[in-house]
Amino acid sequence: MSHYGSTYMLLLLWILALFIYLGRAIFQRMGRAIKKQAAPELKKLERPLVLNIGLLLAVAFMTILWYTSVTNASAFRSIVNIILNIAESMWTDLFSPTSAQGMEIITREASTQLHSVGKVVQLGAQGLIGLGLLSLFSKKSRYHFPAAYTNMAVASFLVLLACIAVPNFASSLNTSRIIQVMLLVLAPMSIAGIFYFFNLWRAFTTWVTKRKPIRYSSKWITASIVLFLSAFLIFNTGLIYQVERTQHTSFALDLSMDYARYNDFEVMGQKWIVAGKVGDVYADAFRSPVFNAYYFWGVDDLEFIHKAGTGNLIYLGTYNIEHKTVRNTTFPYTYVPYNLYKYSTVYDNQHSMVQLN
């Protein structure tokens, strides 16, 4: 999913938050919801609504109408197809790991014991977010977030629940991108969830032991937060898997994957070309971006080298040399074989190579 998809996902989140806001307002006016008196601090912190809802809806409608017209309704048709695909298996495959990608990730068996611990840490973070949301509706909550943020948080949590329960929902919108965008909104809820957990634990121990409630020091709770976030960081970034030299889940640390990542030898080969002030250079899709660091824009796709005249340079990186393949820049972005001995080599440091056609 592109950055445009992330934008549309945020727009969908805002629309859901708006419906939640309107729903809460209707319930409060009808007297069906539990009336809550805002804390004095909340009254001071909240600000009047700056944007007019009618104007916001009008701008959203005009934007959707314009985008639909310029794309010949292709995006609209895609959305309709996604909705129909979800509706067809809504009740038969609800919470099914074969159809709901979020549930499949949760129920997937970990490959190692270390990955099992990492899975517990990830699920624990999601559980704390759920507790943080519950604390928002508690009368004894110590946090008073603005109503706009509360609506956004509830909408984000509902989207994540839909990824787990609704079939074909997460796979249609890209699961990894969904959870990253939604956690940007829900991240503060994990901290609130830790405090709420201690409150629940204190109430539980008091009910069991029939003694006075235990008072936890704020420093002790803060230390617990730091400890949990540190564990979450080393597992989420894949650092602990790299240290233990086991299979990791971090894209940046996966050396078997080919993407725009360069070692020192590849940079040396690039500098050698830039220092020579040559005209045009041909490289594949993942090797050409390295030249942008020195504002060297005379790089063309290696796929078109057969159309160029003689006397042009060809830049090859470590992946090209080891696998004898190059990646093209046109759809479907496949790797094609490359003969390393077809052209004469003018520079070679064993990890990057420059050839002359």
Q: Please provide the average confidence, as pLDDT, over all residues in the chain.
A: 80
Would you give the end-to-end CA distance of the chain in angstroms? 37
Whether 227 shows a pLDDT value over 70: the answer reads: yes
Give the model's pLDDT for residue 82. 74
Residues 46, 147: contact at Cβ < 8 Å? yes
Instruction: Specify the DSSP element, H or E, that contains 73.
Output: none
Task: Using DSSP, state whether 275 is helix, strand or coil.
Answer: helix
**Average pLDDT of the segment spanning 258-272:** 89
Alpha-helical segments (H) within 253-327: 264-276, 318-323
Give the model's pLDDT for residue 32. 52
Confidence class of residue 41 from pLDDT cuts 50, 70 and 90? Answer: very low
Beta bridge partners of 301: 283
Residue 201 CA to residue 214 CA, distance in Å, equals: 9
Give the model's pLDDT for residue 3. 59
Confidence class of residue 46 from pLDDT cuts 50, 70 and 90? Answer: very low
Confidence class of residue 127 from pLDDT cuts 50, 70 and 90? Answer: very high
Tens of pLDDT, residues 203-217: 888 888 888 777 777
Whether 2 shows a pLDDT value over 60: the answer reads: no
Q: Give me the helix-helix angle, 218-236 and 175-209, nearest 10°.
A: 150
Whether 45 shows a pLDDT value over 60: the answer reads: no
Specify burial of residue 269 (Cβ count, 10 A radius: 0-12, 13-18, 19+): buried
Closest CA to 225 of 179, 187, 264, 252: 187
Residues 163, 178: contact at Cβ < 8 Å? yes
Tens of pLDDT, residues 169-199: 877 776 667 788 888 889 999 998 998 898 8
Give the model's pLDDT for residue 251. 66
Tokens at 13, concatenated: 């989140």
Whether 47 shows a pLDDT value over 70: the answer reads: no
Tens of pLDDT, residues 93-123: 788 888 787 888 888 888 888 888 988 998 9
Closest CA to 198 of 130, 107, 131: 131
Cα dihedral across residues 161, 164, 167, 171: positive or negative: positive
Q: Tell me whether strands 313-316 and 325-327 are parallel, antiparallel or unpaired.
A: unpaired
Residue 40 CA to residue 312 CA, distance in Å, equals: 72
Residue 236 CA to residue 180 CA, distance in Å, equals: 12
Residue 248 CA to residue 117 CA, distance in Å, equals: 13
Task: Using DSSP, state whether 357 is helix, strand or coil.
Answer: coil
DSSP letter (8 states) at residue 216: P
**Average pLDDT of the segment spanning 163-172:** 81
Give the model's pLDDT for residue 140. 64
List strand residue ranges (DSSP E) for the chain, in order. 281-283, 299-301, 313-316, 325-327, 335-337, 344-348, 353-356
Whether 316 shows a pLDDT value over 60: the answer reads: yes
Give the model's pLDDT for residue 139. 67
Cα dihedral across residues 144, 145, 147, 153: positive or negative: negative
Tens of pLDDT, residues 276-290: 867 678 888 888 888
Give the model's pLDDT for residue 86. 77
Confidence class of residue 269 from pLDDT cuts 50, 70 and 90? Answer: very high
Residue 152: count other Cβ atoms within 10 Å of its Cβ: 24
